[in-house]
Amino acid sequence: MEITKILAEAQDLWMKLNLRVAILASLVLQAFLIFFAPIRKRRSKWWITTPLWSAYLVADSVALYAFGLISKAQIHGGTSDSPIDAFGHLLAFWAPFLLLHLGGPYTITAFALEDNELWGRHLLNFFIHLFSACYVFYQSLPGNKLIVPSILMFIGGSIKYGARTRALYLASFRILRGSLLPSPDPGPNYAKIMEGCVAQEEANSQPLIASLPSSDVGAEGEKFLDDRTVIKEAFFYFKKFKGLLVDLIFSFQDRKESMRFFRSRTAKDAFRVIEVELNFFYDLLYTKSGIVHCPSGYIYRAISVSCIVAAFASFYVLNKHGFHKYDVQITYALLLGAIGLELAILGMIICSDWTIAKTETSEKHHGSLFQGSNFIEFLLKFKSESSPFALHILSARWSKSVSQYNLIDSRLRRWPKWFEKLIDARLRKWPKWIEEPLSLIPLREFFDDLKSGREEPYNNKLGELIFDELKRKASIANDLQSIKEMCATRGKWALEHTKTGVDWKVWS
């Protein structure tokens, strides 16, 4: 009887707390993803990526679970010490917070490229959850004391959820490819060109032929780049070569222009530009940066943040008589948490490379509004490696390490015998009906990859070696045939150009 009574009390306690725990857990998961999702750009260890991947998947599930609990609480009249009407008003106010959480953080919209291709599923879920929130709000009518803050949060949450779906849509392969394709161009009017040539011949004059761009890509004097110029040049090449992500080709003029630029740089500056450029690519595919750093993005963020702040002010001045004090505290936690996260996101947006690059573009096209901006210079110093604020640790663009796979280690190193028996189905002495399902799990392949893979720190000497080799190969890549031969001779190329006593051509 005692055990039954304890279980009944525990069940009653859980029925009272499950909704509140779910909503607060959803808020905590959002905060975790906002601050820790960028870490996977700098660390690729499994013990870092696994918690992030789990939080990314669980965040949506917790929000959906909370939606279900809200609907159930409305149907059964609530499970709170507050009056049923007052608790129903709070439920209508809490539901838009879940829309806000389902909108996802600024720092991660997709964990893998395949997530972008599921934008249609997210769009359908968006409409379903929007309808659910509207239904919860409708159930609280008439006489809802929180109608004003509920509507404000509903607007802010809907905008943020829609922005996540739009970010996934624009980063999907087909849509991104379509956005980068140039408008149809019929090409030159050859009839008019020939008419001009005939007319010039009849007039005994030479035809005017447009000169082709020079193929000279010789090296200029090396110039060291400051941080501001590195971001500006990286953003320029990011926009020019975005098509490589979706299998589009670029012109020979673009190729020659980029070769001319990188040949005149040191290895350190060249890798700095590539580092920032790849960071732009990452933000475009995995975060909301692509839709935030544009005029419409600034507008939607301003509207959503204003709605959240206005909802907090409206709830603060409201007479809260009839509401349970713990429910009021939870509501304040949700409001302050939403405002705090939005402020953190605003700081990340201001300190991002996108802001500096967009400012440089504004200087070029709209005069000297930001020319010599002290604020941009302050940001660059704040993010530099020599900064005393150590912000560069949080804003680092990659891990400064190179993954390696040691073929010799993969063949010679062995796991302990007891571990070999555990991961190898052929060595297990278990019944056949257990052994067969376990043999389908490739544990050995998984652990062998962990055994042989390792990371080595990147250094300037390695960068100079790679850069000099690329420049040497680029100098002989004069036509398509030489480029094909170069790409086809991977290991053979290195062996033939290594000074050893073995004639490797004999072995080929």
Pairwise CA distance, residues 287 & 291, whole Å:
9
The three-class DSSP label of residue 402 is strand
The pLDDT of residue 70 is: 87
Bridge partner list, 343: none
The pLDDT of residue 506 is: 46
Question: How far apart, in Å, are the Cα atoms of 135 and each of 132, 139, 191, 315?
Answer: 5, 6, 65, 21
Distance of CA 480 to the CA centre of its chain: 35
Bridge partner list, 192: none
Pairwise CA distance, residues 21 & 27, whole Å:
10
Place of tokens 């006489």: 143
Pairwise CA distance, residues 258 & 279, whole Å:
18
Nearest in space to 111 (alpha carbons), one of 253, 282, 346: 282
Contacts of 476 by beta carbon, 8 Å cutoff, 6+ apart: 482, 486
Written as one letter, the residue type at 26 is S
The total number of residues shown for the chain amounts to: 508
Residue 152, both tokens = 């404000």
Contact predicate 93/320, CB 8 Å: no
Helix, strand, coil share of the chain (percent; to 5): 70, 0, 25
Which runs of consecutive H residues, i.e. helices, occur in 83-189?
84-102, 113-116, 119-139, 147-171, 173-180
**DSSP secondary structure code for residue 307 in this structure:** H
Place of tokens 């803050």: 149
The pLDDT of residue 460 is: 87
Pairwise CA distance, residues 139 & 72, whole Å:
12
Pairwise CA distance, residues 285 & 167, whole Å:
9
- Residue-by-residue pLDDT tens, the chain, 508 positions: 577 777 767 766 676 788 889 999 999 999 999 999 988 888 777 788 889 999 999 998 998 888 888 888 877 655 455 555 677 888 889 999 999 999 988 999 999 999 999 999 999 999 999 998 888 888 887 778 889 999 999 999 999 999 999 999 999 999 998 888 766 555 555 555 666 665 665 555 444 333 334 434 444 445 678 888 899 999 999 998 888 888 888 777 888 888 889 888 999 999 999 999 999 999 999 999 989 998 889 999 999 999 999 999 999 998 888 888 888 999 999 999 999 999 999 988 988 889 888 887 765 555 444 454 677 777 777 676 655 554 445 567 888 888 777 777 666 666 666 666 665 655 455 566 665 665 666 666 666 666 556 778 888 888 898 898 888 888 777 777 777 777 777 667 666 666 554 554 444 4
The three-class DSSP label of residue 455 is strand
Contact predicate 308/342, CB 8 Å: yes
The pLDDT of residue 337 is: 95
Written as one letter, the residue type at 231 is I
CA torsion sign for 278, 284, 288, 293 is positive
The pLDDT of residue 210 is: 39
Q: What do you get for the CA distance between the two ends of the chain, in Å?
A: 84
The pLDDT of residue 504 is: 46
- What predicted TM-score, i.e. pTM, was given to this entire model? 0.81
> What are 76-84's contacts with CB under 8 Å, separation 24+?
79/15, 79/16, 79/19, 80/16, 80/324, 80/327, 81/324, 82/322, 82/323, 82/324, 82/327, 83/322
The pLDDT of residue 226 is: 85
Pairwise CA distance, residues 210 & 206, whole Å:
12
Cα angle for residues 237, 359, 306 (degrees, 5° grid) = 120
Pairwise CA distance, residues 229 & 359, whole Å:
12
Contacts of 415 by beta carbon, 8 Å cutoff, 6+ apart: 423, 447, 451
